[in-house]
Chains A and B, each alone.
Chain A
Amino acid sequence: MKALTLILVWTWITVPLGWGVYQSVLKSLPLFGITAVAK
């Protein structure tokens, strides 16, 4: 139960943070001459 709570709580913050990091990685791709496929 304790482990499940920890997983759920960490997921709550890692999902939006991961999305934000992903958006920044996509934004930075043109610097390397790579075209992003997804928006």
Chain B
Amino acid sequence: MSFLSREATIASPGFSRWLVPPAAIAVHMCIGQVYGFSVFKKPLARALGITAPIAGDWSEADVGVAYSIALALLGLSAAFFGKWVERSGPRKTMLASMVCFCSGLALTALAVRWHQLWLLYAGYGLIGGIGLGLGYIAPVSTLMKWFPDRPGMATGMAIMGFGGGALIGGPLAEELMERLHTDTSVGASEALLVMAGLYAISMVFGAMLVRVPKEGWKPAGSEPKEHVSKLVTTANVTVDTAWKTPQFWLLWVVLCMNVSAGIGILGQASPMIQDMFKVTPKAAAGYVGLISLCNLGGRFFWSSMSDIIGRKGIYCIYFILGAALYASVPWIQGQGSVTLFVVATGLILTMYGGGFATIPAYLRDLFGSYQVGAIHGRLITAWSVAAILGPQLMDRLSVANKKVMPPEQAYNSIFHLMVGLLVVGLISNLLVRPVDFKYHLAENTPA
């Protein structure tokens, strides 16, 4: 029995399940760095010129491609390696994630040092992206097995860690580049190496700490609920069967619409508030900081609430309240109230985060916990699609609108489009029914 095997991570009697969330968060708060990658754009775009870009320097768009590759690989690797993750257990997967993600950062440092764009794409985008996918799904499915009584809260904690990773990764990179830059280096290469080391320590910590519960384990004092929603199954569905069910694709649309509607705002937050309310760039940066906090808090709050309200009900809230808030933004702008705008969009961003955090528990309700990590992995492709769809819609529409109308009015049609996306998500959510018995795994099949 290998130290890395699933069997080696089975918890001994008396093990506290509250040790597992920190293990999951330790991994997620590292890989969440990907959301803070944008702080490297400007320094990498003047890696040769140091103080200003010169001929031969990469453009910011060139650098941004690495981020897009990483997010695409997150979805693809989560989908592709999902079954391997379930088979191998969380420790081996977390360590594999650490090796990929941290060596990706180290290769990125070399790419900057040698000024090789292909190495940036291969290191950060390809190898680092595979690390993101592996590290994203393994802790989530493990936590759901430890918290069958509160799966929403459990996944909320881990996925909140991913959101927190952006809040740590951005300022950490800025601080390191500030301290490590020299007359011949922007400090990005050095900062990336230090971050690779720090993240490796944290991810190894998570991998050493993580445990899986023994087969049949139940939390002490947990009683079966009397009134359980029809959507919550006690049966299991395999990953290969799950994605042939209508429920999988309905949830795929639910996640894709929820993410598309939120990610558009996140990417355009700073220019949007400056155009709409004429605030200063500094205040706009403050707005970005604030909605990032909303995104973080929403992941834990809404996901925990879903344990009380139910998964279908909570997504109805996300879509109905989100659509109402989006629809009200043009009116709020007419009132000239920055405060109301911040409150409305902040609330929307809490539900964007909540949507991410609640989906694994929704999958568990419908398909059981047997291969929920692998099913989650395949569903994450919806995020990859949304990561392209949302910003593209926002960018193209705002640019086109600004050519024919004043910038402060250029966003109104975008908000109406977001309402449309959320209505599509709402309809998909309302169509979700319990999975047909014919898809269930036979009861005597070992799970």
Contacts and interface: CB of A to CB of B under 8 A. Distances in A.
Contact of A13 (B22, B285, B293): B22
Given A24-B293, A28-B289, A10 B171 contact: no
- The interface size bin for chain A is 20 to 34
Interface string A17-29: 1011101111111
Contacts of B18: 6
Interface of A is mostly: helix
A36 B290 CA distance: 14
A25 B293 CA distance: 8
Contacts, number: 79
Contacts of A32: 286
Contacts of A21: 164, 167, 293, 296
A31 B25 contact: no
A25 B291 CA distance: 10
B168 A27 contact: no
A35 to B, nearest CB: 10
A17 B25 contact: yes
Given A9-B19, A30-B280, A30-B282, A25 B164 contact: no
Nearest to A2: B16
17 contacts: A5-B19, A6-B16, A12-B202, A19-B168, A20-B166, A20-B168, A21-B164, A23-B167, A24-B167, A27-B286, A28-B287, A28-B289, A28-B290, A30-B282, A31-B289, A31-B290, A33-B283
Pairs of residues from A and B, 8 with the lowest C-beta to C-beta distance, nearest first: A31-B286, A20-B167, A27-B289, A20-B168, A28-B289, A28-B290, A23-B171, A30-B286
Interface of A: 2, 5-6, 9-10, 12-13, 16-17, 19-21, 23-33
Given A20-B167, A28-B286, 15 more contacts: A2-B16, A5-B16, A9-B22, A9-B23, A13-B29, A13-B161, A17-B164, A20-B166, A24-B289, A24-B292, A27-B285, A30-B286, A31-B286, A31-B289, A33-B283
